[in-house]
Amino acid sequence: MPCSIELKNVSQSFGNIDSTITLFENLDLSINQGQSYAITGPSGAGKSSLLMLLSGLEKPTSGEGNFINDNQLLTLDNLRAEIGFIFQQFHLLPELTALHNIALPLKLRGDKKAIKKAEHWLEKVGLSDRAHHKPAQLSGGEQQRVAIARALVFSPKFIFADEPTGNLDQHNANEISDILFSCCQENNAGLVIVTHSNVLASKAQNIYSLANGELTKTSPISITDQQSEKHTAQHLTKNLSTNEKQVPSC
Ligand SMILES: Nc1ncnc2c1ncn2[C@@H]1O[C@H](COP(=O)(O)OP(=O)(O)OP(=O)(O)O)[C@@H](O)[C@H]1O
């Protein structure tokens, strides 16, 4: 049975006696396993902070966060073993090869088939021929493929991605987002993406905007916006090399 995460009446503030920033107050949000979500909004609105609350890695100033699994209401601390993260900066371990970066979450769980499963995931993200390369020997797009495989290799129920294509040119961004969405769908993982990209956000089944402390569900971004964003990105990246591999079907 699919599980879910819910935030109820949640507020988040940072600061001390002298100054306090309140990002949002009394916010409600539910995330279901198997569905995809995008959170957009201006810089500093609190998107990454909201992702931290959803994942249970940070606690709200007030309000409630629940993980509902098999009709049981649990605290978000119980999510730890069920989540994978993907970051803009990839955050791979530099001294490990692509294969060993992917195998690491399984090894930490004591899985004896860690390497076999990691090889399978390298193939899924189209990088079998880069198994023994270290992150510094991989392109940005290739590093993000490794990060996606590492996040999904232990079949987590939810994936949280903070600007997963923010460091990539438009060509690679499209490939990586296609891999990310198809891998999450195939693994029935809930996917929550924080992004400034309307093109990326429009691929999610549920799109939210966080601005001025308000979280609003929005309709898919209009084609006109996407075309103008694509045009700008193409203009900015037309001289960049695009010699990445074809998108594998996950
Ligand atoms: N642990 C923290 N302590 C103090 N302030 C924090 C902390 N985490 C975030 N903030 C502040 O909260 C605000 C929102 O940060 P956050 O990273 O969540 O925004 P964002 O919408 O993801 O921004 P961007 O799109 O630029 O990444 C910022 O002003 C940030 O400095």
> Who contacts 3 (Cβ-Cβ below 8 Å, separation ≥6)?
33, 67, 68, 69, 70, 82, 157
Q: How far is CA 233 from CA 166, 199, 204, in A?
A: 12, 11, 20
pLDDT of residue 2: 84
- Give a yes or no: residue 78 inside a domain: yes
In this structure, is residue 133 part of a structural domain?
A: yes
Residues in the chain: 250
For residues 10 and 7, what is the distance between their CA atoms, to the nearest angstrom?
A: 6
Q: Let me know how many helices (H) and strands (E) the chain has, helices first.
A: 7, 10
pLDDT at residue 240, rounded to an integer = 39
pLDDT of residue 242: 41
Residue 249: inside a domain, yes or no? Answer: no
C-alpha of 76 from chain center? 18
Domain-embedded: residue 248: no
CATH number at residue 120: 3.40.50.300
Does residue 27 lie within any of the structural domains?
yes
Give the distance (Å) from ligand 1 centre to CA of residue 50. 9
User: What's the confidence (pLDDT) of residue 75?
Assistant: 95
Q: What per-residue string of b and e applies to 157-185 under the rule 16 or more CB within 10 Å gives b?
A: bbbbbbbbbbbbbbbbbbbbbebbbebbe
Report if residue 246 sits inside a domain. Answer: no
The residue nearest atom 9 of ligand 1, judged by CA position, is 49
Pocket flag, ligand 1, residue 21 (CB < 6 Å): yes
Q: What's the CA gap between 76 and 209, in Å, rounded?
A: 23
Give the DSSP H/E element, type plus range, for residue 32.
strand 20-32
Does the beta carbon of 45 lie inside 6 Å of ligand 1? yes
Domain that holds residue 205: 4-14+22-237
Distances (CA, A) of 156 to 37, 55, 151: 16, 12, 8
Query: What is the structure's pLDDT at 238?
Result: 42
Q: How far is the CA of 10 from the centre of ligand 1 (A)?
A: 16
Q: Is the CB of 43 under 6 A from ligand 1?
A: yes
- Beta strand 36-40 with 190-194 is parallel
Q: Which tens digits make up the pLDDT trace of 171-193? A: 989 999 999 999 999 999 999 99
CB 78 within 8 A of CB 69: yes
pLDDT at 219: 81
Asked, for residue 250, whether it belongs to a domain, the answer is: no
Residues 102-128 pLDDT 10s:
999 999 999 999 999 999 999 999 999
Handedness of CA 183, 180, 193, 54 (dihedral sign): positive
This prediction's pTM: 0.87
Torsions phi, psi for 53 (to 5 deg): -70, -45
Does 94 reside within a domain? yes
**How many Å lie between the centroid of ligand 1 and the Cα of residue 29?**
19
Q: Count of domains in the chain? A: 1
Phi-psi region of 114 (alpha: psi -120 to 50; beta: other; left: phi over 0): alpha
Q: Give pLDDT < 70 ranges for the chain.
A: 221-250
For ligand 1, pick from 14, 52, 200, 209 the residue to mutate: most ligand atoms within 8 Å of CB. 14
Going from the Cα of 48 to the center of ligand 1, the distance in angstroms, rounded, reads: 7
pLDDT of residue 17: 77
